[in-house]
Amino acid sequence: MATRHFLTLLDFTTEELLQLTARAIELKAILRSGEIYEPMKNRVLGMVFEKSSTRTRVSFEAGMAQFGGHAIFLSPRDTQLGRGEPVEDTARVLSSMVDIIMIRTFEHEKIERFAEFSRVPVINALTDMYHPCQLLADMQTYVEHRGSISGKTVTWVGDGNNMCHSYINAARQYGFKLNIACPEGYDPDSAILAAAGDSAEIIRDPAEAAEGSDIITTDVWASMGQEEEQAKREKAFASYQVDDRVMSAANSDALFMHCLPAHRGEEVAASVIDGPQSVAWDQAENRLHAQKALLELLAKG
């Protein structure tokens, strides 16, 4: 049987994604009850970080420890990838020694090549094109607060980046409508958007896009690696802040989400992310539970 990987949300069926969310909620309850549950005892997760991240490292490492397994952190200094070894060679070697591999890197094509030559499951912990693990946590968070997201409306405010691409895929898989409020010149990938059909559309004005929405979500204006564009992006995104005006255009019980880190006063007003509609901290915690459910599913083969 071919090795299964999780490189985008499209690698799983809708039914599998919904089951994964339900399992994540169960695992959260098991952890909070104090019950010891160690389905991955003596198993090892290799964590390849070409891009640093607080939440990604802590959530995967803590998840493996809670499952009775072990996680090995590998920075660019700790692998031959950083010294120019072919991706295919690193994939062959690492996957001969560990049970699952997660990679946080730049080019999506690199993780696809790695997965092609890996004998164990590979998890996309972020590429420049997709961030599917964050979407698992976001969908779990919505279900916990409001129930099924099928038939709902989500508004993405900001850059048409990897998070936006993953929300487009999520709209297809979970059955919600996605409004994308982004400035011209920062649209999502046209092929990814086109593949979503009527599930996703661009509405330039954030307040107009937010009308009737159940989730308002955003990301920083300049992601890691785009620091030199900060001034240019501050100008382009100046009218794309999620503030009280945007939130008031959404449904009265709409939730605010942010994948973090957040820059108050830029992409989000402090009154919103620190306000009663924000579930950003639940999202952050749910990275742990959603990824544990993902590890468990992939470990079963």
- The tens digit of pLDDT for each residue in 141-186 reads 999 999 999 999 999 999 999 999 999 999 999 999 999 999 999 9
283 has catalytic annotation: no
Instruction: Say which of 5, 43, 131, 172 is annotated catalytic.
Output: 131
Crossing angle, helix 54-66 and helix 280-299, to 10 degrees? 50
104 has catalytic annotation: yes
CA angle 226, 227, 228 (to 5 degrees): 90
- The model's pTM: 0.96
pLDDT greater than 80 at residue 227: no
Residue 70 is labelled as binding a ligand = no
Confidence of residue 82 (pLDDT cuts 50, 70, 90): low
Residue 218 is labelled as binding a ligand = no
259 has catalytic annotation: yes
pLDDT greater than 80 at residue 80: no
Contacts of 22 (CB under 8 A, 6+ apart): none
Candidate CATH numbers 3.40.1190.10, 3.40.50.10860, 3.40.50.1370, 3.30.530.20; the one for domain 3-129+283-298: 3.40.50.1370
Instruction: Say which of 23, 159, 259, 283 is annotated catalytic.
Output: 259
pLDDT greater than 90 at residue 225: no
Token pair in block for residue 206: 């954030």
Contact 213, 154 (CB under 8 A): yes
pLDDT greater than 80 at residue 244: yes
Residue 53 is labelled as binding a ligand = yes
131 has catalytic annotation: yes
Confidence of residue 76 (pLDDT cuts 50, 70, 90): confident
Whole-angstrom Cα distance, residue 270 to residue 274? 6
Region 228-234 average pLDDT: 90
Instruction: Say which of 23, 172, 233, 287 is annotated catalytic.
Output: 287
Residue 182 is labelled as binding a ligand = no
Question: Mean pLDDT lowest for which of 84-88, 213-217, 276-280?
Answer: 84-88
DSSP secondary structure letters along 173-232: HHT-EEEEE--TT-PPPHHHHHHTGGGEEE-S-HHHHHTT-SEEEE--SS-TT-GGGHHH
Whole-angstrom Cα distance, residue 125 to residue 102? 6
* Bridge partner list, 217: 156, 257
Residue 55 is labelled as binding a ligand = yes
pLDDT greater than 80 at residue 43: yes
> Which top CATH class is 133-281?
alpha beta
Domain ranges in the chain?
Answer: 3-129+283-298, 133-281
Same topology for domains 3-129+283-298 and 133-281, yes or no? yes
Instruction: Say which of 5, 43, 57, 104 is annotated catalytic.
Output: 104
